[in-house]
Every structure is written in structure tokens, then in C-alpha cells.
Amino acid sequence: MTGFALAILPLVITPGASLALLIRHVTEGGRRRALPVILGTATGLYVHASLAVAGLAALVMRSEAAFTVVRIAGACYLAGLGAWTWWSATRAVPAAAGGGRVRWNSAYPQALFANLLNPKAASVFLTLVPQFVTTDRPLGGQILALATVQVVMVGLWLLGWALLMRRAAPYLESARVRGAVGRVTGGVLIVLGVRGLVGW
């Protein structure tokens, strides 16, 4: 487990769609918005782990056409989400940080699909995970255990960012700052989407 944790650490701390979504939602609605983003990301990771156990992810990764479809779908989703985030930040002033309802119906599925449609997340369980499993124990249990390690690490990483943003809460109450964060987040998501389309 320790070896796997060390191996996956660079992937966990590399900024991506989950962190961009976390910053956007926490900025708009306070740190309570971090929970649905974290849970959506965790759900996506467990789905990838389950697909790896079932062998479906291996089928996608071995088929260039299937992998391309998943990559393009994920890239289009991120780019579209980024464009919508940018547009939302420019057309209206978000609710004050810390106020309003926690929009589970928005944050959770966005984080879930951003992870599900990321072929790199699936590739972790097909390239890295096999190096840390053995044939003398049930494969499914080992994969899910390693997935749990990744989920805990990602959850702590995102939670750390949410707590860090709590210190910045007074600055995030400014409508101008929230709008700027929304535009930057939208730009990051668009860049991630374009990167996926061109196969970076």
C-alpha cells in the first residue's frame, strides 16, 4: 500500500478537473460545496476500479477506437463545462461565499462525470495497479483496496485545498473576485478539454 501511495502521489497532486471544480464551487457557495465534489470524484474512481475488475476498462484501453471515443467525450465534456462556467461567471454574480444551499445536483455529477470521462483515470488501474497486486489473493479485493488508498489521498488533497480557501474567505466575498475565479476556472477546464482533444 505504501509503495502504491508513493507511486500515485504525483498524479494526485497534479492540478486537474476535480481541483478546478472544487475551487469554483467553494468560491461560489463556501467550503460545504467541497463535499459533493470530493464524493463525486471518489465515486468516479470506484467506478473505474470496478470496471478494471470486470475487465471492461481493459477492453477500452486495448481498442484504439474505443479509447479515442472516451477521450473525445471527456474532452468535450470538460470544454463544455468550462465554457458554461465562464459564461455563468460573466453573466451573473454568484451567491456570497458560505451562503445558500449546497447544490449537490450540480457539483456532484460534474465531478463524477469529469472523472468517469477521463481515460487517464482508467489507465491508472490498467498500468499502475497491476504492479501492486498478487495472484495468491482475490484480485477484486486488492484492486478495490488500492482504489480506496487513491480515494483517501485525493479526498485529503481536495479537503486541504478547501480548508486553505477558508482562510481566503474574506477575499472571496467580493463579487469581482468570485467572478474572476469563475472565469479562471472556466479557462482551466477549457484548456483541459482542448488538451484531451489534441491528445496531449
pLDDT tens track for 5-33 = 988 888 788 778 888 889 888 887 777 88
Distances (CA, A) of 13 to 60, 92, 146: 26, 32, 17
Decide if pLDDT at 61 tops 80. Answer: no
Name the residue with cell 478537473: 17
pTM, full prediction: 0.71
Sign of CA dihedral 160, 152, 115, 6: positive
Q: What is the overall mean pLDDT for the chain?
A: 79
Q: Where residue 100 falls among pLDDT bands split at 50, 70, 90? A: very low
- In degrees, rounded to 5, the angle at the alpha carbon of residue 122 between the alpha carbons of residues 117 and 124 is 140
C-alpha cell at 192: 483541459
Residue 50 vs residue 175, higher pLDDT? 50
pLDDT digits (tens, 9 = 90+) for 103-124: 545 889 999 998 988 777 877 8
Q: What average pLDDT does this structure show over 95-102? A: 43
Q: What average pLDDT does this structure show over 33-44? A: 94
